[in-house]
Amino acid sequence: MSIRIGIVGYGNLGRGAELAIRHCPDMELVGVFTRRDPSTVTIATPGVKVYRLEDAESMQDQIDVMILCGGSATDLPVQSPQFARMFNLVDSFDTHAKIPDHYATVDAAAKEGGKVAAISVGWDPGMFSLNRVLAQSILPQGHVYTFWGKGVSQGHSDAIRRIKGVKDARQYTIPVERALEQVRAGEAPELTARQKHTRECYVVAEEGADLGWIRNEIVNMPNYFDDYDTSVRFVSQQELNEEHGGMPHGGFVIHTGKTGVNGENDNVIEYSLKLDSNPEFTSSVLVAYARAVYRLSQEGQTGCRTVFDIAPRYIALMSDEELRAKML
């Protein structure tokens, strides 16, 4: 019997989850749930229905795991606790500072409903977090660094678009090569934001806009840009669409630790991602952990989990015997 999946929210992440499920022989998409009018939403899978968000409550016996594909700012803080009472679920809540609160509310709701919820699943938080913990546990005397990019930051692109006279924009976060080299060399440098990443902006201005003023607004924007070396290039809408239409991202978790009687040996653990599609990869992680959530629930477990709490075997398609024989 297949694991019956529901998708909540049909943006980039929801569409990615729908595609990822196709690669999972043990799963079946039951429905997509949206806040929009379902008749206006066309999905990629023939024969699968689109429902109103409110319809979910009456479908608890038809869905094993809900994959929540909304945003962390306003959707998930409401939806995850609400759905955790009714469904096993995974979400990709990524507001790092608010994770402990989110965990607490989702944990209480999931326990109340007798369900399992995995939160903050994706790549960061998610696979990067897991690799930070594994590395630091193995070499606790070491130093761990996270670099992001090269990739499109949605938040920074949005911040540029809010500037007067800006029609459209795309921002790339880029790790500084020299910083990567220092870290890999085991130098354990102290690095400022500026030393770790640069920011590259492609901006479409409205006709007649003051380009100098826009450039100035961008590079001096507090938090978003003023702590970084930022380059701004004005391009046509056509060039933006053609050259910068994708959603690539990725990054590096690098941990270095010295071993030996006098710390004479350098050891470097590195995990990296190079993704042509940030949302499609993130949703692939969500789908893998949906499998884990289902299995944990079948074992009678309840409550909230993160990637730290879930053994690799729970996300694997292979049986334990196969894993030991083929993958160990």
How far is C-alpha 181 from the geometric centre of its chain's CA atoms?
26
Write the binding mask 96 to 135 for a second copy: x where contact by CB under 8 A, - elsewhere: x--xx--x----------------x----x-x-xxxxxx-
Q: Give least dist CB 262 to a second copy, A.
A: 10
Query: In terms of Cα–Cα distance, which of 53, 65, 64 is closest to 118?
Result: 65
H helices present in the chain, as ranges: 12-21, 75-84, 99-113, 127-138, 154-161, 177-184, 193-196, 211-219, 237-243, 278-298, 320-322
Angle value at C-alpha 148, between 249 and 16, nearest 5 degrees:
30
Eight-class DSSP state of 76? H
Q: Give least dist CB 202 to a second copy, A.
A: 20
Helix (H, G, I), strand (E, B) or coil at 8: strand
Instruction: Determine contact, residues 261/247, Cβ cutoff 8 Å.
Output: no
Helix (H, G, I), strand (E, B) or coil at 69: coil
Q: Which stretch binds a second copy (CB under 8 A): 34-42, 56-64, 167-175, 255-263?
A: 255-263
Q: Which of 12, 19, 174, 301 is the binder for a second copy (CB under 8 A)?
A: 19
Q: Which of 35, 150, 266, 302 is the binder for a second copy (CB under 8 A)?
A: 266
Q: How many CB atoms lie within 10 A of CB 249?
A: 25
Query: In terms of Cα–Cα distance, which of 273, 270, 228, 229 is closest to 249?
Result: 273
Q: Which of 154, 267, 301, 302 is the binder for a second copy (CB under 8 A)?
A: 267
Q: Give least dist CB 76 to a second copy, A.
A: 14
- Using the minimum distance from each CB to a second copy, give the nearer residue, 232 or 286: 286
Instruction: Determine contact, residues 127/141, Cβ cutoff 8 Å.
Output: no
- Decide: is 44 part of the binding site for a second copy (CB under 8 A): yes
- Decide: is 20 part of the binding site for a second copy (CB under 8 A): yes
Q: Which of 137, 190, 222, 299 is the binder for a second copy (CB under 8 A)?
A: 137
Per the rule left: phi > 0, alpha: psi between -120 and 50, beta: everything else, 244 is alpha
| Residue ranges in 72-101 that form contacts with a second copy under rule CB under 8 A | 96, 99-100
- Decide: is 23 part of the binding site for a second copy (CB under 8 A): yes
Write the binding mask 184 to 203 for a second copy: x where contact by CB under 8 A, - elsewhere: x-------------------
Q: Which of 63, 109, 118, 139 is the binder for a second copy (CB under 8 A)?
A: 139
- Decide: is 299 part of the binding site for a second copy (CB under 8 A): no
- Using the minimum distance from each CB to a second copy, give the nearer residue, 228 or 289: 289
How many binding residues for a second copy (CB under 8 A)? 71
- Decide: is 47 part of the binding site for a second copy (CB under 8 A): no
Q: Give least dist CB 295 to a second copy, A.
A: 12
Sheet holding 151-152, edge to edge: 151-152, 166-175, 197-205, 229-234
Q: Give least dist CB 286 to a second copy, A.
A: 9
- Using the minimum distance from each CB to a second copy, give the nearer residue, 201 or 285: 285
Instruction: Determine contact, residues 3/291, Cβ cutoff 8 Å.
Output: yes
- Using the minimum distance from each CB to a second copy, give the nearer residue, 211 or 318: 318
Instruction: Determine contact, residues 289/315, Cβ cutoff 8 Å.
Output: yes
